[in-house]
Amino acid sequence: MDTHSIMQYEHDRQKKKKKIMHREREEMKRIDKLKK
């Protein structure tokens, strides 16, 4: 695998990670609202 592909792969992985984290945070907010 050439460096460009590796960079692209890492970039995509980071993006997915952020998306997942964001979604989890949204879920937490929703759950918090339901608890109150």
Per-residue pLDDT of 1-36, as tens digits, reads 689 999 999 999 999 999 999 999 999 999 999 987
2 torsion bin: left (phi>0), alpha (psi -120 to 50), beta (else): beta
Predicted pLDDT of residue 1 = 63
Threshold 0.75, pTM exceeds: no
Predicted pLDDT of residue 2 = 86
